[in-house]
Amino acid sequence: MIDIHTLKFRRQKLANLIHFPTVLWSGKSPSRNFKANHYPFRGSSHFLYFAGLPLENAAIRLENGKLDLFMDNPSPDSTLWHGEMPTREDIARKIEADNHYPMEVLKDKIDGVATIPVQDHFTYEKQRELLQRSLSGNQELKEIDYQLMKAIITLRLTHDDLALKEIKKAVDVAVEAHKMGIKSTKNCSTEAEVRATMESYIMSQNMTCAYNSIVTVHGEVLHNETYHNLLKSGDLILADVGAETSLGWASDITRTWPVKGQFSSSQRDIYDVVLAAHDACIQKIKPGIEYRDIHLLGAKIIAEGLVNLGILKGHPDTLVEKDAHAVFFPHGIGHLLGLDVHDMEDLGDLAGYEEGRKRSDRFGLGYLRLDRPLKAGMIVTIEPGFYQVPAILNHPKFQEKYNKDINWDKLKQFSDVRGIRIEDDILVTETGAEILTQNLPTRVEEIEKMMN
């Protein structure tokens, strides 16, 4: 169900920020091995934000708050194989387009428009052909394209009621999927079985996964997308699984739990360090707070916890200044969440970083995805972690640089902790923060109780 009032309000808000026409393409699903075998279609998020429906191979022209729709009617072949489909007129009526045309008419209405490049190659080449200009790289962007990106970022950084409703739906489904995964693990023999339990629930709610699920006993592989490993006693399983609604809005949750229902003492010690950072970061969230400062707070608490466990040596502040914590926590504390799981990252750092800021080349800050002051209405993730990544721990550069900061013998006592991450989705409110994923437990006792 789309909310026409909200969609038209978004279109008008864009018109208040820019004074030139815009064309946004929805994109097209690429073929898989042969022409008629397509990957599942996922429309461009910028198109979805204003059109409201995932229309394949379509475009919209926005000017002065009005919307013109460009798309072709279903072909007879399409009707044969896929059944009766809505016509362009049907869709135009549903999204309250002011006008609607076949795609071929778009070439006559393209002068002076701004756009944002779409990810799929077919549509990208069509964009370049029609616009007769490059769409890649900030240095090659037309000024109006750059201004359009900034305007859309302004709109999408904070969420209206329709967006919040959709995101909360995605959150609720992902929370239930995680509960089912946690409860099922003791009866599963492979990562794939746990993944199937979680993803099948998401599918049963007529949603899709918001990204390639991570369900692994090798949590030290940060974006592990294989599921063949056996579940063995003493293993931890890290599951990073989120749902996406039919209108494209995402959730993003990570939990880590013991395969056999009981954390070892060393696993619990590290888990509690990560949880302490997680809780402190969420408690700090409110409008005006710099997200970078939240990340550094999480880094300090992790460093402090590892000092207390004897893994790191020195003062936590000093260890963070020299990025020693990043040996075990190399990524940022989180990211924006919305129509994309890493919202608007197709625009590079233009969305994640406040104007005039750029990524640090520091080891401990280089993967920070968001560097802005927080505003009410933003949704961010908080996801600290601890990982024993061989590529870091065994790298001569890091071994030499942090040799005196790490107690390598003590670290061996935590060999059963490959990776732990705890991630929640947080709405920034006028006075603080609302944990949208609060119905999914984070504490050791609660997780063990759920499993047993």
Mean pLDDT across the chain:
96
At 403-414, the pLDDT tens digits run 999 999 999 999
Give the per-residue pLDDT at 137.
58
Element (H, E) at 237: strand 236-241
Which residue, chain included where needed, has tokens 């890091």? 398
In the sheet where 236-241 sits, what is the strand order? 214-216, 236-241, 253-258
Say how far apart CA 433 and CA 334 lie, in whole Å.
15
Percent of all residues in the chain with a pLDDT value above 90, rounded to a whole number: 93
CA 4 to chain centre: 26
Please name the residue ranges forming H helices in 36-142.
45-51, 76-82, 88-95, 121-131
Cβ contact 308:357 at 8 Å: no
Give the per-residue pLDDT at 134.
80
Please name the residue ranges forming H helices in 247-328.
265-284, 291-308, 316-321
DSSP bridge partners of 257: 237
Give the per-residue pLDDT at 370.
98
Lowest mean pLDDT among 4-8, 137-141, 238-242, 428-432: 137-141
Region 374-385: mean pLDDT is 98
Give the per-residue pLDDT at 81.
85
Using the predicted structure, report yes or no on whether residue 258 has a pLDDT greater than 80. Answer: yes
Say how far apart CA 164 and CA 153 lie, in whole Å.
17
Burial class (CB in 10 A: 0-12, 13-18, 19+), 137: exposed
Give the per-residue pLDDT at 138.
55
Residue type (1 letter), 436: L
Using the predicted structure, report yes or no on whether residue 69 has a pLDDT greater than 90. Answer: yes
Using the predicted structure, report yes or no on whether residue 345 has a pLDDT greater than 60. Answer: yes
Regarding predicted confidence, which is higher, 379 or 136?
379
At 99-130, the pLDDT tens digits run 999 999 999 999 999 999 998 999 999 999 99
Cβ contact 181:198 at 8 Å: yes
DSSP letter for 39, please: P
Contacts of 442 (CB under 8 A, 6+ apart): 255, 275, 278, 279, 422, 424
The two tokens of residue 169 are: 């739906």
Domain boundaries, the chain: 4-156, 161-451
At 122-172, the pLDDT tens digits run 999 999 999 988 887 555 568 999 999 999 999 999 999 999 999 999 999
Residue type (1 letter), 34: F
Residue type (1 letter), 443: R
Total length of the chain: 452
Contacts of 155 (CB under 8 A, 6+ apart): 10, 13, 14, 17, 49
Interhelix angle 191-204/161-184, rounded to 10 degrees, is 140
Give the per-residue pLDDT at 77.
84
At 185-205, the pLDDT tens digits run 999 999 999 999 999 999 999
Element (H, E) at 166: helix 161-184
Region 6-17: mean pLDDT is 98
Give the per-residue pLDDT at 5.
97
Region 352-380: mean pLDDT is 97
Give the per-residue pLDDT at 40.
92
Give the per-residue pLDDT at 140.
55
Single out the residue of 123, 244, 231, 247 nearest to residue 181, CA to CA. 231
Evaluated on CA atoms 111, 117, 118, 124, the torsion sign reads positive
Give the per-residue pLDDT at 82.
85
Structurally, what CATH architecture does the domain formed by 4-156 represent? 3-Layer(aba) Sandwich (3.40)
CATH homologous superfamily for the domain 161-451: Creatinase/methionine aminopeptidase superfamily (3.90.230.10)
- pTM of this structure: 0.96
